[in-house]
Structure 1
Amino acid sequence: MANQNVRGWRRLIYAFGYSMAGFKVCFEAEEAFRQELFLLMFLAPLGLWLGETPIERVLLVGCLLIVLIVELLNSAIEANVDRVGMERHELSARAKDIASAAVFMSFALTVLTWGLILLPKWF
């Protein structure tokens, strides 16, 4: 592991740099991440505006952030599987499909959350 001897604030600074590098790589390489980030940029302010209580605002925006988190993990899994080999293997396909299903479930959570909070206000 890199920088094992680094402690304290320097470790946090290094960790922040690695995180930003991860965001950059995912943004550049993954179209799905860019699309979800665009949705977050549009829907997060809308969720803050439409939520009437702090809890509603956290739920509306938080589930959008969960989609991005799961997409980052999905991208990491796919990159790891592709590193092992590009040939078709049942376990590789299973790992990618399960990671993709996790992204789908995070979207389902978002739709459910937004629907349960906002639909009763309009109907």
Structure 2
Amino acid sequence: MYKTTGLTHLINSTKYSLQGLKSAFKNETAFRHECFLACILIPLAFFLGETKIEIILMISSVLLVMALELLNSAVEAVVDRIGTERHELSGRAKDQGSASVFIALCIVAVVWGESYFSNIRNIF
């Protein structure tokens, strides 16, 4: 098999990425929930964000959750592919992947919370 370069590589990479998104949406409930929330939160960021930086941070925090959910799902798929028996390292890998998503959700809470409370302060 030969290695692609240039435009062919870009097209193939895009195709594989879209396949990954489709697979995650089809097979991962958490990813579907996060997509649903992103459809609400990303447009909302344009209304709630007061500066371009604030809007960028709000949108980026949501996208970070989705990116880490994809990585978490990939780790879980690889671990499950290796074997279904319980193993300490398999459990640790899955737990740490889940923890990365949790931390990203905390980032969303901090960014969106600060935006919300700063807007409330400006109103009063």
Please tell me the TM-score bracket, short chain as reference. Answer: over 0.9
Paired position in structure 1 for 2:119 = 121
Query: Which letter maps to 2:15?
Result: G
State the distance in 2 between where 1:113 and 1:30 align: 25
Paired position in structure 2 for 1:9 = 7
- Report the identity percentage: 45
Unaligned residue ranges in structure 1 (runs of 5+): none
Cα distance per residue 1:79-116 (max 9 Å; x no partner): 00000000000000000000000000000000001111
Paired position in structure 1 for 2:38 = 40
May I ask how many residue pairs the two structures share in their alignment?
121
- Taking the TM superposition and a 5 Å limit, the aligned residue runs for 1:82-97 are 82-97=80-95
Paired position in structure 2 for 1:57 = 55
Task: Spell out structure 1 runs of 4+ moving beyond 4 A.
Answer: none
- Taking the TM superposition and a 5 Å limit, the aligned residue runs for 1:56-75 are 56-75=54-73
Cα distance per residue 1:19-64 (max 9 Å; x no partner): 0000011000000000000000011100111111100100111100
Q: Are the aligned partners of 1:63 and 1:106 in contact in 2 as well (CA < 8 Å)?
A: yes
User: So what's the TM-score if we normalise by structure 1?
Assistant: 0.95
Q: Are the aligned partners of 1:48 and 1:60 in contact in 2 as well (CA < 8 Å)?
A: no
Query: Which letter maps to 2:49?
Result: G
Q: Are the aligned partners of 2:48 and 2:115 in contact in 1 as well (CA < 8 Å)?
A: no
User: Secondary structure at 1:87's aligned position in 2?
Assistant: coil
Unaligned residue ranges in structure 2 (runs of 5+): none
Q: Are the aligned partners of 1:59 and 1:113 in contact in 2 as well (CA < 8 Å)?
A: yes
Query: Which letter maps to 2:3?
Result: N
Paired position in structure 2 for 1:110 = 108
